[in-house]
Chains A and B, each alone.
Chain A
Amino acid sequence: MSDLDQFRQETRDWLEANCPPEMRQPVRDEGDVYWGGRRAKFKSDAQKSWFEACAAKGYTVPAWPKEYGGAGLDGPQSKVLRQEMSRIGARPPLSSFGIWMLGPALLKFGTEEQKIHYLNEIAQGKIRWCQGYSEPGSGSDLVSMQTFGEDKGDHWVVNGQKIWTSYADEADWIFCLVRTDKANKYQGITFMLFDMESKGVSTKPILLISGNSPFCETFFDDVEVPKDQFVGEVNRGWDVAKYLLGHEREMISGADSGDRTSAIGAAMLRHTGELDTMLRADLAKFDVEALAYGAMGEKFLDEMKAGKGHPAQPNMMKYAGTELNKRRHELMMAAGGSRSLEWDSEETGGGKPSRGWLRTKANSIEGGTSEVMLNVVAKRILDLPGA
């Protein structure tokens, strides 16, 4: 048996012993997702034991080094673990902006002390993070942001407003772009980390068209941030921000998600009993796209892990993956017919189809819009003129 086959067998045994049956069901709603953090509560014993088993084994962040709370798996091993988890339909033990976004940035730009401290906290689900990038006047044109940190010797005093801060009201800490040099557009931004309980931080929810509100406006009013709480170099936070956005896009593109690689036509047929011919044709066309995109997701991850592939490739994946996901929800609404219109009935689990459909419309906006992704592909991959 090769080492990898042996690893697969061990992984199977471990999952069999540690992943409770309840954690092998598809995620049905927000409550099924565990986000960690100071105020986190487990929804069930199964959720708790699954999370704790993974955290102890380093499987909340399997590819991170062991000293930072990971399991130190290499590329092929990570792939085996992904495959084995997806084979039994295991839920992710922990969802976290720390894992998807801040972690990779710290691994690349953090000091050794920062890595040991913050990465372990993230891996253990102790601190929940939110992302303070966008401002009312700075969305796609993020680098125009104005939130300002004034140098006060041993600390900065931060003033300004962020918008669209997902889960700001439930997060413990924020990673935030702050202008520290007004004269310099790109090289005047510092990537800061601070506690959301700091004096002067306040949040206000934003209601979405889906009727949900995990989003906030975040206000900073003379917030004091200690001088050592930054990542990378002072005034060079844009490098960190851009690197992190690459990971955010990869995550939103859903390159990693197993369920996107199976045909939805069959599921819709089971769900509705029959499919009219036009809908069936649309579903089949969608399935061709989705199965092809599934292969792309796998290829993309294989190439990333092997250090091949173009560095702007995540932009392409983000574009294609989010447009596809929107199309999937359009089709699911069509297949569900009038039943999917119910906004809060028990049959629809509180309007899950329609709320989910509406939520996906943000996929091609959050983390950079589709238009901006296409701009990046045109310029950085196709090398078209006129930046």
Chain B
Amino acid sequence: MALFYDDDQSMLADSATQFMAEEGSIKKQLRHWRDRDCPDGFGHDLWKQFGEMGFTGILVSEEDGGLGMGNVEAGIVLEQIGRNLTPSPFLTSSVLAATAIGKGSNDLRGRYLPGLISGEHVFAVAIDEGAKHRPERIKTKAEKSGNGFKLNGQKDFVIHGASADMMIVAARTSGSDDDDDGITLFAVPKDASGLSQDAVRLVDSSVATHAKFDNVELDGDAVIGEVDGGRDVLNAMLHAGRVGAAAESVGVSAGSMDMTVDYLKQRKQFGKLIGEFQALQHRAAHLYSDVEIARAAVIKAQQLLDAEAESAELMVSVAKAKAGTTSNLSVREGVQMHGGIGMTDEYDIGLYMKRDRALSEFLGDANYHTERVAQLSGY
């Protein structure tokens, strides 16, 4: 397969680009909700429009009413989300949750997928237990109780947890905290008794929660996949989410770079456009090359994942690490090259810097994924 978009994908890219620039723009969405201190951090109307556009069901199979497309297509939407800093539950609901639910029972898919596809429902995923992404270690416990399970523990930084109709929780049903096996994934409804959430607003204006599970009772049909065998579903979900986050990072990098390059062509100092100074030209050109390389790594990882290739896991970590370091460079150069104005709230460049930080942390930062590259390569 060639490493660029085919005709159908290019069409999707055109419509996602136009839609996100018009409906998902920084002014209309991120600033709008932020300035109102919105407890969700995103707009539900926009999410319904995502549904009308068909974006919500990209990773849902056709039998389940979705579009049955792949990670390349989800990434096309995510890159535009990144470029416009569009707050939405796309990554958590349509990528992470959709990937997991797709591996669930008929009943589970029937219960949750229609609401996702229409944009009525929002889902969250609860994996991390602490400030860093460490899904190798899961302490939250689900004990057998009657026909179902009793869930106890805490999950941190559950993005959109407070707004979600259902959250997918990775819990331990057997073994010890560091075991690979013994994990089970559960679909926990918002109103489950014993579930409480503390919401915190993050630097990028998104809202996450610390979710506590205090003897939350779950039916057996809340299980996604196999009891004790949830690691495979968890991994599949994480791979899709990580490559998706990497695609969004490429959008953040490109959006911030384009803003900066535009600024270099407008701002005059010392009687010249600052874009004429070679010191800035070289840094901009270096940044461009990094963004192109990150984009290539992401497409490669998406294609390998869609082809279920063995090397997909390695390339997903390469993509997440590379996209993270690149968007970090892009926002740092962006603020610096804007000079003082880049420090103001009025200018959008700082918003890119905030989003980069949150996105880089999500599902493993560059260090985490660089370490994985070493391990998966055998050193």
Residues on A lying within 8 angstroms of B by beta carbon are 76, 263, 265-266, 268-269, 275, 280-281, 283-285, 287-289, 291-293, 295-296, 298-300, 302-303, 306, 308, 316, 319-320, 371, 373-375, 377-379, 381-386
Contacting residues, chain B, for A320 (C-beta < 8 A): 289, 293
Nearest CB in chain B to that of A300: its residue:
B296
Q: How far is the CA of A283 from the CA of B297 in the complex (A)?
A: 18
Nearest CB in chain A to that of B304: its residue:
A295
Contacting residues, chain A, for B300 (C-beta < 8 A): 295, 298-299
Q: How far is the CA of A126 from the CA of B370 in the complex (A)?
A: 47
Contact B379 A265 (CB under 8 A): yes
Q: Least Cβ distance of A326 to chain B in Å?
A: 15
Contact A288 B322 (CB under 8 A): yes
Q: Least Cβ distance of A41 to chain B in Å?
A: 40
Contacting residues, chain B, for A296 (C-beta < 8 A): 292-293, 296-297
Q: Least Cβ distance of B10 to chain A in Å?
A: 10
Contacting residues, chain A, for B319 (C-beta < 8 A): 292
Contact B288 A384 (CB under 8 A): no
Contact B294 A292 (CB under 8 A): yes
Using A292-B322, A377-B285 as known contacts, say yes or no to A280 and B275 having CB atoms under 8 A apart: no
18 further interface pairs, Cβ-Cβ under 8 Å (given A280-B379, A292-B318, A299-B300): A263-B379, A280-B374, A283-B379, A284-B374, A287-B318, A287-B373, A288-B321, A288-B325, A302-B4, A316-B285, A319-B289, A377-B285, A378-B282, A382-B261, A382-B285, A383-B261, A384-B261, A385-B275
Q: How far is the CA of A293 from the CA of B318 in the complex (A)?
A: 10
Q: How far is the CA of A138 from the CA of B379 in the complex (A)?
A: 46
Using A275-B379, A386-B276 as known contacts, say yes or no to A316 and B292 having CB atoms under 8 A apart: yes
Contacting residues, chain B, for A377 (C-beta < 8 A): 285, 288-289
Nearest CB in chain B to that of A284: its residue:
B374
Nearest CB in chain A to that of B322: its residue:
A292
Nearest CB in chain A to that of B293: its residue:
A296
Q: How far is the CA of A284 from the CA of B293 in the complex (A)?
A: 17
Q: How far is the CA of A27 from the CA of B317 in the complex (A)?
A: 30
Q: Least Cβ distance of B9 to chain A in Å?
A: 13
* CB < 8 Å neighbour of A291 from B315, B366, B371: B315
Contact A371 B282 (CB under 8 A): yes
Contacting residues, chain B, for A375 (C-beta < 8 A): 278, 281-282, 285
* CB < 8 Å neighbour of A288 from B282, B285, B370: B370
Using A295-B315, A382-B261 as known contacts, say yes or no to A308 and B4 having CB atoms under 8 A apart: yes
Q: How far is the CA of A268 from the CA of B378 in the complex (A)?
A: 11
Contacting residues, chain A, for B269 (C-beta < 8 A): none
Nearest CB in chain A to that of B370: its residue:
A284
Q: Does B28 lie at the interface of the complex (its beta carbon under 8 Å from any beta carbon of A)?
A: no
Contact B377 A292 (CB under 8 A): no
Q: Least Cβ distance of A94 to chain B in Å?
A: 27
Contact A283 B374 (CB under 8 A): yes
Contacting residues, chain A, for B289 (C-beta < 8 A): 316, 319-320, 377
Q: Least Cβ distance of A290 to chain B in Å?
A: 9
Contact A306 B288 (CB under 8 A): no
Give residues 264-288 of B contacting A (CB, 8 Å).
264-265, 272-273, 275-276, 278, 281-282, 284-286, 288
Using A371-B282, A385-B273, A386-B275 as known contacts, say yes or no to A263 and B373 having CB atoms under 8 A apart: yes
Contacting residues, chain B, for A289 (C-beta < 8 A): 293, 322
Q: Does B2 lie at the interface of the complex (its beta carbon under 8 Å from any beta carbon of A)?
A: yes
The interface centre, meaning the residue of A303, A308, A373, A374 with most chain B CB atoms within 10 A of its CB, is A374
Nearest CB in chain A to that of B324: its residue:
A288
Q: How far is the CA of A371 from the CA of B279 in the complex (A)?
A: 11
Contacting residues, chain B, for A266 (C-beta < 8 A): 377-379
* CB < 8 Å neighbour of B296 from A269, A299, A383: A299
Q: How far is the CA of A293 from the CA of B295 in the complex (A)?
A: 10
Using A284-B371, A291-B315 as known contacts, say yes or no to A385 and B288 having CB atoms under 8 A apart: no
Q: Least Cβ distance of A8 to chain B in Å?
A: 14
Interchain Cβ contacts under 8 Å between A and B, 18 examples: A287-B318, A288-B317, A288-B369, A292-B293, A295-B3, A295-B301, A299-B300, A300-B296, A302-B2, A302-B3, A303-B3, A316-B288, A371-B282, A374-B286, A378-B282, A379-B281, A382-B288, A384-B275
Using A292-B293, A377-B285 as known contacts, say yes or no to A299 and B378 having CB atoms under 8 A apart: no
Nearest CB in chain B to that of A293: its residue:
B293
